């Protein structure tokens, strides 16, 4: 999608064939299993499956052109890699113009291989960017905990702690200070 584009519900610009839009977005959702770079765009498009507009359809066609122009992009798992979890967390505060809810995004790597990712709208409206980022960090830490238990079940004892990266200094300060917990 074009950087800075925010899709919203427009009742005056309906798309003439909503079932075709739904089928296209459904195929995009299936592709996110192997193309994590599509997750955010597909998340945005899937929010308007009930009443799509021409603008939403145009955005979906841009995603389709991107997929057609980059068929070799996808997941790669090298045979030699360190088995250390690295996670990156981010949030887009009040990114939805209709509901004012934030979008959480994270990606988790095992060595150099991407093994888990998500882009999802948060359930509640955050009052600050710090709150939205902290919620994203909490969701990411839950996913790290689940992956650590899964690695343990697969007989891999994770000796070093996982690294969790966040770009918000306030959230880092709150998360590292045990008094706030």
Ordered by start, the domain boundaries in the chain are 18-69, 85-180
CATH, range 85-180: 3.30.420.10
Query: Do β-strands 103-110 and 85-92 pair in parallel, antiparallel, or remain unpaired?
Result: antiparallel
What does the mean pLDDT of the chain come to? 88
Give the whole-angstrom CA distance, residue 27 versus residue 120.
18
- Cα–Cα distance measured from residue 86 to residue 111, given in angstroms and rounded to the nearest whole number: 7
Greatest CA span in the chain, whole angstroms?
A: 57
CB atoms within 10 A of CB 97: 10
Q: 83 pLDDT exceeds 90?
A: no
Half-sphere CA count of 168, side-chain side, radius 13 A: 19
Q: Which residue has the tokens 């996808």?
A: 74
Q: What is the pLDDT of residue 61?
A: 93
Q: If you average pLDDT over residues 55-81, what whole number do you get?
A: 88
């Amino acid at each position: 999608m074009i950087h800075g584009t925010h899709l919203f519900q427009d009742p005056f610009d309906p798309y003439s064939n909503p079932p075709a839009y739904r089928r296209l977005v459904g195929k995009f959702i299936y592709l996110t299993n192997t193309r994590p770079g599509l997750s955010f765009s597909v998340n945005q498009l899937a929010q308007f499956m009930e009443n799509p507009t021409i603008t939403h359809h145009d955005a979906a066609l841009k995603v389709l052109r991107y997929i057609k122009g980059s068929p070799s992009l996808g997941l790669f798992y090298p045979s030699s890699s360190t088995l250390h979890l690295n996670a990156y967390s981010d949030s887009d505060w009040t990114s939805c113009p209709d509901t004012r809810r934030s979008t959480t995004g994270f990606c988790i790597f095992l060595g150099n291989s991407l093994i888990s990712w998500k882009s999802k709208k948060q359930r509640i409206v955050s009052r600050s960017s710090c709150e939205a980022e902290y919620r994203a960090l909490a969701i990411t830490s839950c996913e790290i905990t689940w992956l650590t238990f899964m690695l343990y079940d697969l007989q891999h004892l994770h000796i070093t702690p996982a690294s969790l990266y966040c770009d918000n200094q306030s959230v880092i300060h709150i998360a590292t200070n045990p008094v706030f917990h």
